[in-house]
Amino acid sequence: MAEPSTLVPLTVAVPLIIAAVLAAVTRWIPRRGPDLVALAAAVAVTVMAVVLVAATRDKPIVYWFGGWHPVGGLAIGIAFVVEPAGATLAALAGLLTVASLVFSWRYFEEVGHLYHVLVLVLLAGMVGFSLSADLFNIFVWLELMSVAAYALCGYQIRQPGVVQGALTFAVLNTVGTLTMLFGIALIYGRTGALNLAQIGEALREQPPSGSVVVGFTFITAGLLVKAGAVPFHFWLADAYTVVPAPVGALFAGIMSDLAFHTFARIYWDGFSEAFAGHHGAVRTALLVFAVGSVTVGAAMALLEADLKRQLAFATVANGGLVLAGIALLTPRGLAGATLLVVVDGLLKAALFLLIAAIIQWLGASDELLLHRRGRRPGGVLPGLLLAACGLGFALMPPFGPFLATALIVDGADRDWLTAVITFGAMATGAVFLRAAARVFLGWGPKEDPALTHQPTEPQEGEPDFQPNADWRRPSHRVIMLAPPAVLVLLAYGLSFVPGIADWFTTVAHSVSQPRQTAAHVLGERMPPARTGPGPYTVSARIWICACASVGGAVLLAAAALSWQRMAASLRRVLLGSVGVLKSFHDGAVGDYGLWFVMGLAALGSGWAFTLR
């Protein structure tokens, strides 16, 4: 039987080879041919990644491309280091690609011959980004992933709004990746290494120099742009609004959050010991960005009427929760962040596919335009799924993101951070509970001056539909709703996998041991058996926090539907505050670039005085 290590290069080779073949022959084969071939490739990647998760449960797999193994502790080749967390996220990327491709069968009447090619290239980029242990090749996989994402975002290129959203996406992300490349160049100039383990070894025995601090700052800022953390998040809502919904499931479900996982690996393998005496400064800066992401993302999600923009800002808010877990710089926090990427990614992907089904059925994604339309026959299951996603975001215990967030909160042991996390979960949950009540129950008014909404019904980035044309057929509803339903069930059910919290904590504990990682990668010595801090039990405080979040989400959703009944003076104050927050998200790329510079300057100035 073949060694599991032989599967490592195939996880990226299979989608790239199939993409190249499809690019050459798709024009001359029937429509279902590319659908089936691309789906088979995505399934193969998912299966291989799951096998790698099982194969690395005891020790990571280090795969040196071309057999170029280290010599004398020096990496002279390119390596993938496959550990369970990275392999799990690669499996998640494959699973969401499978769901997206299945959903696309009924979503697109006609699909361009390069659609499947771009989706497979995006999948290969995400998998390579998850597994690479080399700084420059992390950049290469990031660029491959980004180029495919730009093209998919602008897929409906004939629509002017799509061009603007895709350009905003491309410009800001290109600035971010170039910033990251400058940081990589500085680190290479200081250490002469690109392999993360070798960088960690080179920086271990000496205080960090100015070039190391600046390089680390640039790398961090570049990854925070890709992740959509505040104040680098402005591209995200514009891109999510115009991307075709099946592709948006990949953007929201896995692509953005992969940057957080990669940052954690870069920090622990390459920089954690160099900054060993300055963990407090790193933690403080990351927590500032995390809190900003949670609060701004949650507040902006509440102020949007379009379901896709709501999900975009919910992605910013939930990304803040992930960043908070990483920022704690503890195994438990990292475990919660990784588990949250998985369960939250399943919910966000399910929600994007559900939004796509609603668009095809009802002809719009704006909750004000959709007022009461969901009361038509066939609306029960979509309404229940939308409410289930809202309750999942609100930390409905013991399902979905509840367990992951519990790990973060218990790992933090900070009351103020618990309050911020509770607010973020409550607000993002309330957004989709409000939408479900307005669309499927007809509650609330048809007009709301606090919400930004589309004045017309055509959906930018989506194919043309005849609303309700096929929805009367049960077979069509099943195919459209089965992928989001399965993803919701998986997100809710993962909390019941025996020992899943302990397993993620044990994996995170091994990730946070850079010397053991370096010995395994560079010296090819077997690492000791993985150990964790012991069985995890959710504390009573977390149960109270989650119940408060769910109850608060229901009350906030009800308040959002009835706020116009309050006194006129209070309404004016509220609308004034809302206007100030919205004015920062004006769609001007120049303004967004200014915020990027300000965020980079704040991060750099803070670390310049604290990391040396």
* Residues 410 and 371: beta-carbon distance below 8 Å: no
251-280: average pLDDT: 91
pLDDT tens digits, 404-462: 999 999 888 788 999 999 999 999 999 999 999 999 999 988 888 878 766 554 466 66
* Residues 13 and 20: beta-carbon distance below 8 Å: no
User: Which is higher by pLDDT, 28 or 271?
Assistant: 271
When mean pLDDT is compared over 204-208, 292-296, 378-382, 453-457, the highest value belongs to 292-296
321-331: average pLDDT: 94
Among 60-64, 131-135, 210-214, 448-452, the range scoring the smallest mean pLDDT is 448-452
Distance CA 50, CA 45 (A): 9
% of the chain beyond a pLDDT of 90: 54
Bridge partners (DSSP) of residue 80 are 63, 132
CB neighbours of residue 84 within 10 Å: 24
pLDDT tens digits, 338-396: 999 999 999 999 999 999 888 888 888 889 999 888 888 777 889 999 999 999 999 99
Q: Which residues of 210-249 are buried (b: 16+ CB within 10 A; e: fewer)?
A: eebbbbbbbbbbbbbbbbbbbbbbbbbbbbbbbbbbbbbb
Three-state SS for 27-42 is HHCCCHHHHHHHHHHH
Q: Classify the C-alpha dihedral 83-87-88-90 as positive or negative.
A: positive
Q: What integer pLDDT is reported at residue 528 of this predicted model?
A: 63
Q: What integer pLDDT is reported at residue 556 of this predicted model?
A: 93
Q: Classify the C-alpha dihedral 89-95-99-101 as positive or negative.
A: positive
Task: State the Cα torsion 170-316-430-454 to the nearest 10°.
Answer: -20
Strand spans (E) along 69-205: 79-82
Domain locations along the chain: 159-608
For residue 506, give the nearest of 533, 526, 537, 536 by alpha carbon: 533
- Is residue 128 within a helix (H) or strand (E), and if so which, with residue range? helix 115-131
19-44: average pLDDT: 87
Q: Classify the C-alpha dihedral 147-222-418-434 as positive or negative.
A: negative
Q: What integer pLDDT is reported at residue 463 of this predicted model?
A: 65
Q: Among the residues of 494-611, which ranges form H helices?
A: 500-511, 514-522, 540-562, 568-583, 589-608
191-211: average pLDDT: 88
pLDDT at 146 over 50: yes
Distance CA 431, CA 446 (A): 16
Among 253-262, 265-274, 508-517, the range scoring the smallest mean pLDDT is 508-517
Q: What integer pLDDT is reported at residue 122 of this predicted model?
A: 96
Q: What integer pLDDT is reported at residue 131 of this predicted model?
A: 94
Q: What integer pLDDT is reported at residue 121 of this predicted model?
A: 96
The whole-chain average pLDDT of the chain stands at 87
Q: Quick check: helix, strand or coil at residue 387?
A: helix
Q: Residue 205, exposed/middle/buried by CB under 10 A (0-12, 13-18, 19+)?
A: exposed
For residue 334, give the nearest of 264, 436, 283 by alpha carbon: 264
The residue type found at 129 is F
pLDDT tens digits, 485-533: 999 999 999 988 988 998 999 889 888 888 888 888 887 666 665 566 6
Q: What integer pLDDT is reported at residue 1 of this predicted model?
A: 40
| DSSP code for 271 | I
Q: Classify the C-alpha dihedral 355-357-359-363 as positive or negative.
A: negative
pLDDT band at 109, cuts 50/70/90?
low
pLDDT at 325 over 90: yes
- Rg of the chain in Å (alpha carbons): 23
pLDDT at 13 over 50: yes
